[in-house]
Amino acid sequence: MGIIYKKTYIRDRVFVHDDEYYYNLIRKNLKKFRKEKNLTQQNLADMADISREYLCDIENESRGKHVTIAILGRIADAMEIDIKKFFNK
């Protein structure tokens, strides 16, 4: 399934990506990097000091859980990657 671009208009300016686009990008990259590092959800959750359920909610698009920048930073630190990598296409 490809990412659908939805134009958002704010004060007559067009922005191509909305919040959901970025949340989906983060979800996809989070799961990819976690698997590349051979970490289970529980391993990573323990390392980032969050619950496994919360991490599962972040990774699972159908659950609609959004992640804060602070939590994303903790996850990036735990995996020893730059937080910017979560936003790569």
With beta carbons less than 8 A apart as the criterion, state whether 75 and 44 touch: yes
Residue 60, in any domain of the structure? yes
Residue 9, in any domain of the structure? no
Mean pLDDT (whole number) for 68-87: 97
Residue 12, in any domain of the structure? no
State whether residue 86 is helix, strand or coil: helix
CATH number, domain with residue 46 = 1.10.260.40
Kindly report, residue by residue over 19-69, the tens digit of the pLDDT: 888 999 999 999 999 999 999 999 999 999 999 999 999 999 877 778 899
Domain hosting 75: range is: 18-87
Kindly report, residue by residue over 11-20, the tens digit of the pLDDT: 667 667 888 8
Residue 13, in any domain of the structure? no
Domains of the chain: total = 1
Single pTM value for the model: 0.79
Residue 57, in any domain of the structure? yes
22 CB contacts (<8 Å, ≥6 apart)? 87
DSSP secondary structure string for all residues of 28-83: HHHHHHHHHTT--HHHHHHHHTS-HHHHHHHH-GGGT----HHHHHHHHHHHT--G
